[in-house]
């Protein structure tokens, strides 16, 4: 399999962490590819009309996206306990938490594009602040549900850890740990896992 990814992408990092945790990483060739909303990447566009990474090329020649679908696909390929829970109560709570983490990443990424890609004279601060409001509310909600991040490994733990890692990488000035001791403690221990250390964005 091939994973079209970029080291900075928290979405791709989720896939790498899940692959590492489930022993699938040796079966995946990492293909480093830069994408931005304003530069055409014909290879990525041909595989994913949305022009976004990650994309997984399976051994059957399928191009799978987005990160949620790729993670669930990889979770079907190993024999260890499922990282997408099957028991209904656990499943929907976990997927909701993972969606919250993904939404946090998406809002943060929009701010990143607004500030780093959009020409200065076109930047709209109120809009970026609106996105950062989503990030802050998501952080508060994660802190309130931090007990759901304990216990056996599941996809929401991975998604939350990658979202927080993205804030550390691109938004250090946010100081997200302030006032969020539960989340800070979760991240301190989760970020020490080999799967996280080997996928740290540089």
The residues in 172-191 that bind ligand 99T, with binding defined as CB under 6 A, are none
Burial class (CB in 10 A: 0-12, 13-18, 19+), 67: buried
Report if residue 1 touches ligand 99T, rule: CB under 6 A: no
Q: Beta-strand (E) ranges in 59-137?
A: 63-64
Size of the site for ligand 99T (CB under 6 A): 18
CA distance 43 to 119: 26
Report if residue 109 touches ligand 99T, rule: CB under 6 A: yes
The residues in 16-45 that bind ligand 99T, with binding defined as CB under 6 A, are 35-37
Tokens 């609106």 sit at which residue? Answer: 130
Nearer to ligand 99T, 55 or 139 (CB): 55
Contacts of 175 (CB under 8 A, 6+ apart): none
Closest approach of ligand 99T to the CB of residue 119, in Å = 17
Looking at residue 36, what DSSP letter applies? B
Name the 3-class secondary structure at 56.
strand
Closest approach of ligand 99T to the CB of residue 163, in Å = 11
Report if residue 158 touches ligand 99T, rule: CB under 6 A: no
The CA-atom distances, in angstroms, between 191 and each of 50, 124, 200 are 30, 33, 9
Nearer to ligand 99T, 117 or 144 (CB): 117
Interface mask toward ligand 99T for 123-152; x: CB under 6 A: ------------------------------
Residues that bind ligand 99T (CB under 6 A): 6, 8-9, 11, 35-37, 51-54, 66-68, 102, 109, 112, 170
């Amino acid at each position: 399999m091939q994973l079209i990814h970029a080291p900075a992408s928290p979405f791709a990092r989720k896939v790498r962490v899940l692959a590492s945790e489930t022993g699938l990483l040796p079966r995946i060739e990492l293909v480093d590819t830069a994408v931005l909303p304003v530069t055409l990447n014909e290879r990525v566009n041909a595989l994913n009309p949305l022009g976004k990474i990650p994309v997984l090329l399976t051994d059957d020649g399928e191009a799978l996206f987005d990160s949620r679908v790729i993670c669930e696909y990889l979770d079907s390929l190993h024999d260890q306990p499922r990282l997408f829970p099957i028991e209904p109560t656990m499943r929907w709570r976990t997927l909701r938490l993972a969606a919250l983490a993904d939404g946090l990443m998406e809002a943060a990424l929009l701010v990143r594009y607004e500030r780093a890609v959009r020409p200065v004279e076109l930047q709209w601060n109120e809009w970026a602040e609106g996105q950062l409001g989503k990030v802050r509310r998501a952080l508060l909600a994660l802190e309130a549900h931090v007990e759901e991040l304990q216990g056996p490994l599941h996809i929401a733990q991975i998604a939350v850890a990658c979202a927080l890692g993205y804030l550390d990488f691109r938004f250090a000035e946010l100081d997200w740990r302030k006032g969020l001791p539960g989340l800070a403690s979760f991240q301190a221990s989760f970020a020490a896992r080999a799967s996280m250390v080997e996928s740290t964005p540089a």
